[in-house]
Amino acid sequence: MNNITLNEAQIKVDEWIKTIGVRYFNELTNLGILMEEVGELSRIMVRKYGEQSFKESDKGADIADEMADVLWVLICLANQTGVNLTEALHKNFEKKSLRDSHRHLHNTKLTDSDI
């Protein structure tokens, strides 16, 4: 499973849920779980890249695993709500490309070499 498309990920998560996970949690439960997982990722990022020090309980945490947890629950929500993440991501690229085609090029906060 070196390379996996979003579509394949949606199918694999769905298969796992239906065979090992028994069933999906309801959408609101999964939304709460998503927020919890984002919080766990945030805690590790703040400690690794921010100014907070690690707590003893955070020392074994793996950023990649935390990101995968976020992605897993997001995929569950996409499956439950009928969202094709591949299509959604393509549309999002189009939206951002049209909306932001010049916006970031002229942002001195991004282009100023003194930063």
**Separation between Cα atoms, residue 105 and residue 70, nearest integer Å:** 31
Q: What is the pTM of this model?
A: 0.85
**Separation between Cα atoms, residue 63 and residue 93, nearest integer Å:** 25
**pLDDT reported for residue 110:** 82
Q: 74: which 2 tokens?
A: 């997001």
**pLDDT reported for residue 115:** 47
Q: 42: which 2 tokens?
A: 């945030």
DSSP per-residue codes, the chain:
--S--HHHHHHHHHHHHHHTS-SPPPHHHHHHHHHHHHHHHHHHHHHHHSSPPPPGGGTT--HHHHHHHHHHHHHHHHHHHT--HHHHHHHHHHHHHHHTTTTTTT-HHHH-TT-
**pLDDT reported for residue 49:** 94
One digit per residue, the tens of pLDDT, for the chain of length 115 reads: 589 999 999 999 999 999 999 999 999 999 999 999 999 999 999 999 999 888 888 878 899 999 999 999 999 999 999 999 999 999 999 998 888 877 777 788 887 765 4
Half-sphere exposure of 7 (CA within 13 A, CB side): 3
